[in-house]
Amino acid sequence: MIKADQVSKRFGRFEAVKSVQVHVKKGSIYGLLGSNGAGKTTLLKILSGIIEADHGKPTIEGEQIFERPDIKKRILFIPDQPYFFHQTSLLQMASFYKAVYERWNEERFRQLYEHFALDPKAKLSRMSKGMQRQAAFILTLSAMPDALILDEPFDGLDPVMRQQVKNLLIQDVSSRKMTVLVSSHNLREMEDFCDAVGVMHKGSLLYEKDLEELKTDVSKLQVAFKKMPNESFLKGMNVMHYEKRGRVLTCIVRGNEGDIDRHVRSYEPAIYDVLPLTLEEIFTYEMGSVGYEIRNLIV
């Protein structure tokens, strides 16, 4: 549904996005993850048609997006800082949205602002960050988009609101097959929400995968031996990272579970456990393998 084909963007001398290839399937929730300054926001802005790509083809359902009002009517973008017109209230913003988005659902709008208990006549600029974000979601979801592009959407929302907003998004995904592309740093939160993820670093996409596939591709082994085996034990697997504490080895290994299992068992371990990794761990180790790792700074 949402596709970026070799998309690049340069700001002056800085190359923010380097020939990135992204494919978001219809009805999927795609999490765009990445280090700070990786180019996530730039990519999202290109895919929502706000800025033009220098090279490559960003498309939605096969159609170019930039300067295409007919396509843009069906896609909505919530930036990391929601934008409202100067001195407007929620109701005034709604009348603007109504004029632009043909599918505007007035009943849903009323239901939503009543549910979130926002005063529709109050000035949005005087509301708190979290309330402004709620307002942005109310407006966006009332416009009944086919695709939704969100930049750090849960920033500034309290846990109750997060859950409510997620719940609303999920309802639209399951009932209307809405497609969601979302960037975030909060990996814990993405874990139960996304079904596919893409990881960016320094302007390039490192990889994109189904979340479950990603999780089964990398595993954490805890192995203990009565007698430590020689080097061939580690060399026989694709080890991304390992740690030795006494006789216990903790390894992060990439590869097929069955192969790893056979390999480890052939060394007759005393204790052998395979732990699934959290998304946060996968992210940290994958980033570490491209030289972006946690280095403790002592000041």
Chain residues that interact with another protein, rule: CB under 8 A: 27-29, 163, 166-167, 170-171, 173-175, 188, 191-195, 212, 215, 275-278
Q: For the residues of 203-240, what is the DSSP string, one character each? A: TEEEEEEEHHHHHHHEEEEEEE-SS---THHHHTSEEE
Closest distance of CB 198 from another protein, Å: 16
Smallest distance from another protein to CB 196, Å: 9
Residues near 46 by beta carbon (within 8 Å), at least 6 away in sequence: 4, 7, 9, 17, 52, 53, 58
Q: Which is nearer to another protein, 119 or 259 (CB)?
A: 259
For the bound state, the minimum distance from the C-beta of residue 188 to another protein, rounded and expressed in Å, comes to 8
- Distance CA(139)–CA(144), nearest Å, equals 9
Least distance (Å) between residue 194 CB and another protein: 7
Which of 28/41 has CB closer to another protein? 28
Nearer to another protein, 124 or 221 (CB): 221
149/277 with CB nearer another protein: 277
**Phi/psi of residue 214, each to 5°?**
-60, -40
Query: Which residue, 49 or 153, has its beta carbon nearer to another protein?
Result: 153
DSSP 12-30: TTEEEEEEEEEEE-TT-EE
Among residues 282, 298, 291, the alpha carbon closest in space to that of 31 is found at 282
Query: What is the distance between the alpha carbons of residues 118 and 268, in angstroms, rounded to a whole number?
Result: 63
DSSP 166-209: HHHHHHHHHHH--EEEEE-S-HHHHHTT-SEEEEEETTEEEEEE
Distance of closest approach, residue 197 Cβ to another protein, in angstroms: 12
Minimal distance, residue 251 CB to another protein, in Å: 16
Q: 54 — phi, psi (to 5°)?
A: -75, -45
C-beta of 45 vs 133, nearer to another protein: 133
